[in-house]
Every structure is written in structure tokens, then in C-alpha cells.
Structure 1
Amino acid sequence: MHILITVIISLALAFHGLRKKSLAKSGALGAFLVGIITLSNDQLAFTVVLLVFYFTGSRLTKYKAERKKKLGEAYQEGGQRTAMQVACNALTGTIICIIHQYYYGGQLKCLLDDHGSRLLFWMYIGHYSTCNGDTRIIDVLEPQNYGSEKLLFCLYQHLMQVPPGTNGGVSPLGLLASVLGGFIIGASAVISIYFADGCNRLYIELIPVASIAGLIGSIIDSILGATVQISLYSEKSRMISNSKTEETKLVSGYDLLDNNQVNFVSSLTTALLIGFVADYIIG
């Protein structure tokens, strides 16, 4: 019965993404596989966190879509995430889920009862807090004109104003949105662990850890985006462009990683950092 429910929910997620145009066909397949693996974990908190990330992410992707079209030439309706994009945003969390099920599947009533299980879940929270706290939400949350964002870090070691949508561009509201994204992940984990996984207390500490993870993850993402990911500005379209032409000029960065790779590295780094730091401080 558990396997049947897992397959049904995973298929529902994939078809939901296709219908809402937040997933391409390859992305829907990737989401189905992530769903199968995550929902197979005996601890419901892993599934709840994934579902909260998926549905909040889908909503934000479609929010103010008309404005997003004006920020970058690579915009696609609804997001249209491919399998590669799904993998870069979910691979770390999915691997953590597999490891946890292998070592602790069917053994724990509460996933925070064991030290190793807690460490893995801290990492899981760090990963999805980073993904849910992506600072690109800033592009649609506040009115901006050319030059209103600032790079958190650049090769010249100072802040600089850049066009909205520039890789690595941040603002106070964007950082606050990252904290909120992590907060949502932490709150969902606390509720699911207490009510669904049968733990004997509310692990409120998950909320500040997840909130901090959202902030740290967005900072790491911004640093990478401002340095190892190239941003070009098209004078003709007045948009951030991924194509080098005579009409584009360099805004920041080197062409070493693309956006998917930056997302993967930032979420993996934050997962490891948050996992071990939280384990050391909280236990």
C-alpha cells in the first residue's frame, strides 16, 4: 500500500508540474523520480519538506510572470524546469534521503532520536532551505530600475550596482526573502516531526537553523553568481542575456558555471555547512 501511495503522489506531482507549465517533460520525469525516492523514506518529514518546497517554489516561479519576462531573455513561461534543473535543485536532498533510509529505515520512531539521523536531517534542512530561499525572488518583490541591485561580492572587492536579474545581485529585501524561505522549510519540518513522526516535543530549533540556512545559502549563491557565472546585458533588449553578441556588455563574472551548477554547488555547500555546524552546536 505504501508503494502504491508513493507512486500515485509522485505521478500527481509530475502531472501537476506539466499542467502548470512549471516543469518540462524531462523535468516531470525527474520530479517523479525524486518523489518516488523521497516518499519511500519511512520518516514523513522528508516528504513534507519536499512538498512544501515544490509547491512554494511553483507559486513563486509563476508570481508576476510578466515582470520576469522583462528581466532576462532566458525566461520561459511557468519556469519549464528541465531534468537538469530538477537534479541541480534536488540531487543533494535526494541522496541524503537515500542514505538516511539505508541506515535508519524502519529503525526510528522519531528521526531526531539518533545522532547520525539528526546530522543527515540537518543537512536535508540546509539543502532545501537554500533552494527555497533563492534570492531571485527579489526580482519580483520590489520595484526596480536599471542599476538598483547590488552585487554582494565582485572581483573588485566592492559593491557595485547592476541591472535587475543579474546573477549574484542582492538587496535587503532579497536577503529577507531568503530568510523567509528557510523559515517556511523549518516550520514545516517542526510540524511534521511533531504530529506525523511522533516525536515527544516540538523541535523549535529547526526554525532558526533553517532560516539561517536560507540566508547563508543565498549569500553563497550570490557570491558564486557574481564571480564564476557570467552576466551580460543587452542594450537592444535591455535585459540580462546569456548570449555574447556585439550588443551585449559584461556586467560581472567569468563564464565558468551556469545557473544550474551554481544552484547545485550552493545548496550542497550549505547542506554540509549547516549540517555539521548545527550538529556541533545543538547536537
Structure 2
Amino acid sequence: MAIKELIAVNILVPVCLILWAGSSALCKVAVGGKAFDSVTPGRYLFSLAVPIFVAVEGLRKRSLDLSGALAGVTVGFILTFTNYSFFTSLFVFFVTSSKATKFRAEKKKTIEHEFIEGGQRNWIQVLCNSVVAAQLSLFYLLDSGPQEQPIDFNISFTSSWLGMGVLGAFACANGDTWASELATVLTEKKPVLITTGETVPRGTNGGVTLIGLFISAAGGAAIGLGYYLSELVLIDARVLLSAPPQWRMVMVGAIAGFFGSLLDSFLGAKFQFSGVHCETGAVVEEPGPKVKHICGRQVLDNHAINLLSCLFTAILTPSIAQAII
């Protein structure tokens, strides 16, 4: 074992034991703390070690910068400790969206003036795409404690609502990322502005294509599939058999990804500036003397749009799930 791995183990294990001992002591005096009685040190270890490993890999592969890695570890610990299915949703989003961002990067440079080399995400991007899920996860933790359970609105309404809210937030983020990163380079057809139906240059905020809408649904379905597969592994088969069909959350994820992408496009068309640079022909998001306005006003940036889209989709998704599952 390498020296750095030994150091990591010698730090992680004591920290996990301290967290476990602290939570065990608190649950004896805190009202409603019984849900933490069955938490083992292993859950703390897994919840710390896996997000750290993923963050280090993100740094190594230039998917995250240092601030993004630190934010990812924090969010990852909250989600993983609360419910392993939440971590699966985060993991699917991080891996697939990172791959999508790097897909045909050279071609994107000719389309997007503000394309970021390597697709590295900083702490703002990480939080705007995951803070809604992290907050819902904390509410889940307070309501049900750290555990995995099937979605069943008849038996456990609150935890099911919060679980589907987490799924919806990640489905929105993943669907929109897939659509914006893949559709731009997979089709030569120009998108149409969602608010007017007029043809606009590729890379315009609020521009949609048929293939982009299909991809956004696929991105959301990927989150639902990850959530469902983790349930199959983590929850007793007898419990799953007595619950509603959990595979339907793949459909819920697809709808959430589709709706979230549409909402993101609508907000982008209204509240983000899009213009084309007269000399380079690249789409830009700031007005200037050589920039021709396409649509939108300079009210919100892309991070704020992502945050609002995830929030509204997370609120809507439980209602969709209630009707389907």
C-alpha cells in the first residue's frame, strides 16, 4: 500500500469512528434520534471514502477543479450517508455529464465562445446542480434517518416525496446537460427558439431540437435507472415485492429530464442574453459593440438558471411519481 493510501486510511478511519460515536451519543439524548441507532461505522467510512475517491478521480481527469472537488465531497457525503440510492443518482450524473461535456470538444469550440477547456466544473457549478438534492436529502435524513427504502406513497409519503425530489433534481441536471452538450454536435440542424419557434444559431440559450429533447429524456431516464438498480441491490427482495413497481421510476426520470430541459430552455430564452459575434460567428452571452442580439435579457446567468430548473423540477417530480408509481 502506498504512503498516501496509508495516510488516507489513518485519517478516514478515526474520523468515521468519531462521527459514529458522536451520532450514537447524540441519538440517546435527541428527540427522534432513534433512526440513527443502527448506523454502523462502515456507513460513515463508505460515505466519506467513496465521494473522496470520486473527487480525486475528477481532479485527475480534469472533470473538476479543486473547489469543485471540495464541494463534491461535501455534497457526496450528505447524499451517500442519507441513502445510497441518492449517491447512485449523483454518481450517474457526474460520470455521464462529464463524458458528455468532453464529447467532441474541438467542435464545440467553434460553436460556443465561452467553451471551457476540459469541461472542469467549479464549486458554483457543482452546487447549482446538486444543492437542491442535498437539501432534500437532509430533510429525508431528519424524517427517516439514514436508510434505503422503496418508493411507496401509501406507506411512507414523506420519504417517498423527498426521494423522488432528489431523483427529479438530478434528472433535470443530467437531462439538460446531455441535451446541451450532445445535441449541439450530433445534429447539423439549427435549433428553434422555444418561445417563438424561430430558427436560431446552435448554442443559443433557449434553442431546442427534436434530438435534444429526446436526449434530455434519456439523460433523466439514466438517473431513474441508476436509482432503480441500486434499490434492487440494497433493499430486501421481499420488501420490494410488497411495494409498488419500482422500475417505473425510470419513466419518472425520463419525464423529469424532459420537463427540466424544457424549463431550462424557457428560462434561458427569457432571462439569459444570447447574441452572435459578427466577426467570429460564435454565440456569446454578453452584449458588446460587435454582438448582434438574438434573444433574452441579461438577468440570470447559466448557474442561476440551472439552480431554478432543478428546484422547480424537484418540486414537480414527486407528483409525477405519485401518478405513475
Does the TM-score normalized on the shorter chain lie above 0.5?
yes
180-189 vs 269-278, which moves further: 269-278
For the pair shown, the structure with the greater C-alpha radius of gyration is: 2
Q: Which residue of 2 aligns with 1:30?
A: 71
Q: Give the Cα–Cα distance (whole angstroms) in 1 for the partners of residues 202 and 108 of structure 2.
A: 10
SS at the partner of 1:179? Answer: helix
Q: Shift in Å at residue 11 of structure 1? A: 1.3
Q: Does the aligned pair in 2 maintain the 1:44–1:197 contact within 8 Å?
A: no
Please say if residues 21 and 77 of structure 1, whose CA atoms lie closer than 8 Å, have aligned partners that are also in contact: no
**Aligned position for 1:138:** 183
Deviations 1:85-123 (A, max 9, x none): 111000101111111111101566546451111111111
1:147-185: CA deviation from partner (whole Å, max 9, x where unpaired): x111111xxxx3111110111111000000011011111
Aligned to 1:14: 55
Residue 143 of structure 1 deviates from its aligned partner by 2.7
Of Structure 1 and Structure 2, the greater helix share is in 2
Distance 2:149 2:211 in 1: 40
* Aligned amino acid, residue 91 of structure 2: L
Give distance in 2, aligned partners of 1:81 and 1:108.
Answer: 29
In the superposition, the TM-score normalised over structure 1's length comes to 0.92
2:92 to 22, 46, 52: 52
8 Å CA contact 2:286, 2:298 repeated in 1:
no
Secondary structure, counterpart of 1:162 in structure 2: coil
Distance 2:80 2:269 in 1: 36
Tell me what 1:233 maps to: 276
Matches within 5 A, 1:159-238: 159-198=197-236, 199-201=239-241, 202-238=245-281
Any idea what SS the aligned residue of 1:51 has? Answer: helix
Q: Aligned to 2:287, what secondary structure does the other structure show?
A: coil
Is residue 274–residue 286 contact of structure 2 (8 Å, CA) maintained in 1?
no
Answer whether contact 1:24 1:80 (CA < 8 A) is retained.
yes
Task: State the match for 1:121 in structure 2.
Answer: 163
Q: 1:196 to 1:278 in 2, by over 3 A?
A: same
In 2, are the aligned partners of 1:45 and 1:197 still within 8 Å (CA)?
no
2 CA distance for matches of 1:225 and 1:141?
21
Larger CA deviation: 256-265 vs 69-78: 69-78
Query: Separation in 1 of the partners of 2:54 and 2:302?
Result: 24
Aligned partner of 1:244 in structure 2 is: 287
Give % identity: 32
AA at the equivalent of 1:167: N
State the one-letter code of the partner of 2:175.
G
2:37 aligned residue: none
Q: Which structure is richer in relative contact order (CA contacts within 8 A, separation 6 or more)?
A: 1
Alignment match, 2:318: 275
> What's the TM-score, normalizing by structure 2?
0.80
In the aligned structure 2, how far is the partner of 1:106 from the partner of 1:28?
A: 24
Runs of 4+ in 1 over 6 A off after TM superposition: none
CA RMSD, Structure 1 to Structure 2 (Å) = 1.6
Structure-1 residue corresponding to 2:43:
2
